[in-house]
């Protein structure tokens, strides 16, 4: 088995804007159930959130790793380190990807 360390990647130019907007949505969710981003937290209450899916067509050309980093950073800002450390999955998907995964219809 080979082992390699990744090289440092530049952050996508739109990453900070998306993170800021997602943070705002986490702090003050929209009243419109169809407004994106749509945040799906699992498992249901009252258990602590361990899986977080964000449905947002603005993910566009971002890689899955970039999407996950944005979600994790926004969640950390909104809920603090203790809650963020519980996350095992932070996945960003477009609406079409969410339909294929069964997250939404």
Domain boundaries, the chain: 15-24+34-101
| DSSP at 105 | -
Annotate 9-38 with b (16+ C-beta within 10 A) or e (fewer): eeebeebeebbebbbebbeeeeeeeeebbb
Contact 59, 67 (CB under 8 A): yes
> How does pLDDT run across 21-43, given as a tens digit for each residue?
999 999 999 999 889 999 999 99
Q: pTM here?
A: 0.90
Indicate whether 78 pLDDT > 90. yes
Q: Which CATH number is associated with domain 15-24+34-101?
A: 3.30.300
In the predicted structure, residue 62 carries a pLDDT above the cut 80:
yes
Residue 72's nearest CA partner among 97, 96, 51 is 51
Closest CA to 72 of 94, 56, 50: 50
Beta bridge partners of 54: 39, 92
């Amino acid at each position: 088995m080979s082992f390699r360390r990744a090289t440092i990647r530049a952050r996508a130019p739109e990453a900070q804007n998306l993170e800021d907007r997602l943070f705002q949505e986490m702090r003050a969710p929209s009243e419109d159930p169809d407004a994106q981003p749509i945040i799906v937290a699992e498992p249901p209450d009252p258990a602590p959130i361990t899986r977080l899916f964000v449905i947002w067509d603005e993910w566009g050309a971002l890689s899955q790793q970039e999407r996950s980093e944005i979600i994790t950073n926004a969640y950390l800002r909104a809920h603090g380190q203790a809650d963020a450390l519980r996350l095992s999955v932070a996945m960003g998907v477009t609406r079409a990807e969410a339909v294929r995964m069964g997250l939404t219809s």
